[in-house]
Chain A
Amino acid sequence: MSDETHDNLPALVPDEPIANPGLPEHTWRPTDVDERAAKRAERQVATMFGLAQVCVILFLVAYFTLKVGDNPTTFAGFGASTLALGTSLGAALLLIGVGIIQWARKLMADHEIIEMRHPVKSSDEDRQEALASLEAGIEESGIARRPLVRNSLLGAVGFLGLPAVVMLRDLGPLPGDSLEHTVWTKGMRVVRDVVGTPIKLSDLEVGDLVNAEPEIIFAVDAAGDPKFEGVALQVAKSKAAVILLRMNPGDLTPAKGRENWAVDGIVCYSKICTHVGCPISLNERTTHHLLCPCHQSTFDLADNGKVVFGPAGRSLPQLPLAVDDEGYLVAQSDFTEPVGPSYWERDSG
């Protein structure tokens, strides 16, 4: 097995230490020699094919009699239609399959046949002939002798790649700075998720966690139509979702510059995980830890949203809170950093 072996032919397994005894003799099956056994196998196969037809009839009966929709027929608490259609179709198919294989095993000839292999490569003559033709073709085209033609053609075809790539440009807008902002603005109320009611300090007990949104998500214009709808609403929600948590003010250890971001122990953080963007909401009440259910990144809300465990690389962005004249929680400003997963253009630690 040296490197110099360039033999394309099949590897030869030498007839040693034991000589090849050759293919064992064929043994007859009962169905080959006993006409009754063969007839019995024939009946078995035909019975299976016949039962398959019965199963198809059952399928049709189930299709037309069992109801789906508003008031579905049920069987032992399951949708009867799916159950009956699946089992009758499955049984029909299985009976056909098993029948065919029984036919093949019992009734079709079972003599093993020997076929010789040939080297996968072409014969040397064919190879030389093909190579000669290839060379003649290349020679006659003159592509080797006229590099100007060859190179300018390669250039021209290569350039065609540009439209192919450039035409994908309109798949979407350029990112610009859209990832750096959310719909939060100074003085915007923090409202409850789903219902949209504003939140007073007194609404929250110590330890309470509230899933919240910016008020504008629920806002309507003069005509009574929602300001955000469809895609715009989904985009706004996917960045602006927040969580509110009230804890003992003494538990908080705000970083420099964040001393006045909490109101009476109430802190507000982005709900979007800084790892790959799942909404986080599994709260460990006693530790103020928030766990992301997707990849288990854990953030300490008492300590500026710092990562305490898991694959996330950055703290959760905090929304500075204040209270408005009517006593409702509002934002002091938008987030001071982009929310959600990191991206190349992001410019902050």
Chain B
Amino acid sequence: MSIDMNKVATSNTTSAAIPRKPSKVGAVATWVDDRLGLATSMKKQIRKVFPDHWSFMLGEIALWSFVVLLLTGVFLTLWFTPSMGEVQYNGSYDQLRGIHMSEAYASSLKLSFDVRGGLLMRQMHHWSAMLFVAAMMIHLLRVFFTGAHRKPRELNWVIGCLLLLLGTLEGFTGYSLPDDLLSGTGIRAADGFMKSMPVVGTYMSFFLFGGEFPGEAIIPRLFTIHVLLIPGLLLALIAAHMLLLVYHKHTQWPGPGRTEQNVVGYPMLPVYAAKAGGFFFIVFGVTAMMGGLLSINPVWKFGPYDPTKVTAGSQPDWYMGWPDGALRIMPGIESHFWGHTLSWNVFLPIIVLPGLMFTILLLLPFIEAWVTGDKREHHLLQRPRNAPTRTATMVALMTFYGLMWAAGGNDIIAITLHLSINQITYFLRGAVFIGPVVAFLITRRWCISLQRHDEGVLLHGYETGIIMRSPEGGYTEKHLPISPARAYTMTARDREEVPVLETLETDENGVPKKRSPLAGLRYRIRTLMYADNIQKPTAEELEAAQHHAEHEHDLQAALDGHAADGHQFDGHHAVEGETLRGDH
């Protein structure tokens, strides 16, 4: 294909464009810069480079669903009345007419039935909340599996974890607001959780509810937390998250020309701004479709909250499911001493466990840095297989989460699959401890196997699918070397060294100094972390392997005048005018 260079854009160079004559944009920019002096800081940011990869989009989904949440949420506040004052319902929903209920519930019904687009906005708000939390979680997994949490990005990891925690709390306070039977049941359970806390629990419950459950303060208070306090914190933390992203520059996958020292990709203006901006409309559009087509949280079906009622199958929103599962499978242990009661059966699974899990999550980058002792900056991402122990650690945590989540639906599982709820519960009591260990071991070995496969591809080439028969009658599959670009990408990673425990210094009398127990522990963990990993081949190994391959190729070429080198049918090369066996 000949290229007509006249039609090619010439402006996309790395040197700054100098306007030939003052443009309208230039005039506006000058007016702004005279007053704000932004040009100094913006000159680099306008064409800032962002690398491209589909997995970098996950965080964007979270960001854009937060914007959708803000927009739809403001709409909802215009009609929602955060009050537990009792009213008689006289709206359009026939089945509840004449029933006494709180103003919060009545206004939720009004939004659902009497405000045009109200139900759409309610459903979009709820769907985007689910999307928000889900996208944050998957984004977190992507970051961890690819090593993007390493120095210098540990603090952004911490901010991200806080965002996940706050997003979850925001979700809980949000679905508690309509004051329907389901949300009231959730609040009542939360009252029970608070009361399980030693010493302060009862007071916290009385202060939060403004007296005994349910009181009349909880809905207005949750409303303020939901629309002011947490969104404010979320906004501030999201701003910090984005600023750090810009300052650190985005991580990138290794590849030809992509190193630790550079970042390769498209400029912010226009390509990245367009792609990200367009993606905002797509996330918004998908949420609108979901809000219009998929029913969620039909509060009118649940009825107003009544403290004497509950429905079977009561469940929190999915992201609250895992601590609820822990609550369900915990054995009923209570301690009674000195006139006090400590209900371990509630306190451990719902107060201690989530706090513990969150702390572990928060500390993961710091624990890893301590174990590896690596103090360098890392901007190139790692494939999950190239950090087997780290990948296995996260999979173990995911398995724990998943089993707890399954426990949160033990009644649904029992009914759907016709199983005994008791046996499911007994099974999960063991599985939440055994499952993560099994998952860790399998994942770690699986990663190492994948590393072996990579090594094989590097040394012996890829499988062509061409079967060769030797004169002796043996069959072998023909392997061909991979492209230098792919080989470089696969080897662009660190060579890990299994640590050697440093020899201890001796004091003046020749007695070795004592090693700190922490150093010994670190040595053992680091050995476990690296010992079985497959390191990339050295240049010599690679050369030897290539030499061997060439030799074999020569042998095979001699079999037939025109060797079937396999290129013809491997999908990587043109096949025009070539046949597998020459003229045959």
**Are B216 and A230 touching (Cβ within 8 A)?**
yes
What CA separation (Å) do A229 and B379 show in the bound complex? 64
**Are B342 and A89 touching (Cβ within 8 A)?**
no
**Are B332 and A11 touching (Cβ within 8 A)?**
no
Q: Which of B280, B289, B340, B425 contacts A346 (CB under 8 A)?
A: B340
Contact code string B377-412 (vs A, CB < 8 Å = 1, else 0): 111100000000000000000000000000000110
Within 8 A of B (CB), among A217-250: 229-231, 234-235, 237-239, 241
**Chain A residues closer than 8 Å to B494, beta-carbon distance:** 1, 11, 13
Between A24, A95, A271, A279, the greatest number of chain B beta carbons within 10 A of the residue's beta carbon is seen for: A279
Determine whether B171 belongs to the interface, using a CB cutoff of 8 Å to chain A. no
Q: Which of B210, B279, B485, B487 contacts A97 (CB under 8 A)?
A: B279
Contact code string A63-97 (vs B, CB < 8 Å = 1, else 0): 10010111010000001011111110111111111
Determine whether A53 belongs to the interface, using a CB cutoff of 8 Å to chain B. no
Q: How would you classify the secondary structure of chain B's contact residues: helix, strand, loop or mixed?
A: mixed
Within 8 A of B (CB), among A1-22: 1-3, 5-13, 16-22
Within 8 A of A (CB), among B181-224: 185, 188-189, 191-193, 195-203, 205-217
Evaluate whether A342 and B343 lie within 8 angstroms (CB atoms) in the complex, with A18-B488, A93-B288 already known.
yes
Min CB–CB distance B240 → chain A (angstroms): 15
**Are B342 and A344 touching (Cβ within 8 A)?**
yes
Within 8 A of A (CB), among B315-349: 324, 327-334, 336, 339-346, 349
Q: Which of A11, A276, A307, A345 contacts B192 (CB under 8 A)?
A: A276
Min CB–CB distance B520 → chain A (angstroms): 14
Determine whether A114 belongs to the interface, using a CB cutoff of 8 Å to chain B. yes
**Chain B residues closer than 8 Å to A288, beta-carbon distance:** none
What CA separation (Å) do A89 and B537 show in the bound complex? 55
**Are A279 and B345 touching (Cβ within 8 A)?**
no
Min CB–CB distance B416 → chain A (angstroms): 15
What CA separation (Å) do A291 and B509 show in the bound complex? 73
**Are B3 and A120 touching (Cβ within 8 A)?**
no
**Are B248 and A120 touching (Cβ within 8 A)?**
yes
Evaluate whether A311 and B254 lie within 8 angstroms (CB atoms) in the complex, with A85-B116, A109-B12, A172-B206 already known.
no
What CA separation (Å) do A103 and B211 show in the bound complex? 59
**Are B488 and A20 touching (Cβ within 8 A)?**
yes
Q: Kindly report which residue of chain A lies nearest to residue B192, judged by CB atoms.
A: A276
**Are A18 and B293 touching (Cβ within 8 A)?**
no
- Assign chain A's interface to a size class: 35 or more
**Are B260 and A11 touching (Cβ within 8 A)?**
yes
What CA separation (Å) do A310 and B426 show in the bound complex? 10
**Are A2 and B278 touching (Cβ within 8 A)?**
no
What CA separation (Å) do A21 and B203 show in the bound complex? 67
Determine whether B149 belongs to the interface, using a CB cutoff of 8 Å to chain A. no
**Chain B residues closer than 8 Å to A104, beta-carbon distance:** 270-271, 274-275, 278
Contact code string A315-349 (vs B, CB < 8 Å = 1, else 0): 00000000000000000000000001111111111
**Chain A residues closer than 8 Å to B373, beta-carbon distance:** 1-3, 5
**Are A278 and B188 touching (Cβ within 8 A)?**
yes
Q: Kindly report which residue of chain A lies nearest to residue B270, judged by CB atoms.
A: A108
**Are A294 and B497 touching (Cβ within 8 A)?**
no
Determine whether A127 belongs to the interface, using a CB cutoff of 8 Å to chain B. no
Determine whether A129 belongs to the interface, using a CB cutoff of 8 Å to chain B. no
What CA separation (Å) do A3 and B526 show in the bound complex? 12
Evaluate whether A23 and B264 lie within 8 angstroms (CB atoms) in the complex, with A13-B254, A278-B185, A278-B310 already known.
yes
Determine whether B241 belongs to the interface, using a CB cutoff of 8 Å to chain A. no
Q: Which of B3, B256, B537 contacts A20 (CB under 8 A)?
A: B256
Q: Kindly report which residue of chain B lies nearest to residue A7, judged by CB atoms.
A: B376
Determine whether B28 belongs to the interface, using a CB cutoff of 8 Å to chain A. no
Q: Kindly report which residue of chain B lies nearest to residue A6, judged by CB atoms.
A: B375
Within 8 A of B (CB), among A35-84: 35, 38, 63, 66, 68-70, 72, 79, 81-84
Q: Which of B199, B271, B542 contacts A109 (CB under 8 A)?
A: B271
**Chain B residues closer than 8 Å to A28, beta-carbon distance:** 3, 8
**Are B334 and A18 touching (Cβ within 8 A)?**
no
**Are A98 and B282 touching (Cβ within 8 A)?**
yes
Min CB–CB distance B314 → chain A (angstroms): 6
A-B contact pairs, 14 of them (CB 8 A): A10-B376, A83-B292, A85-B292, A92-B285, A93-B285, A97-B285, A117-B263, A173-B211, A229-B86, A231-B214, A271-B308, A312-B345, A314-B332, A341-B346
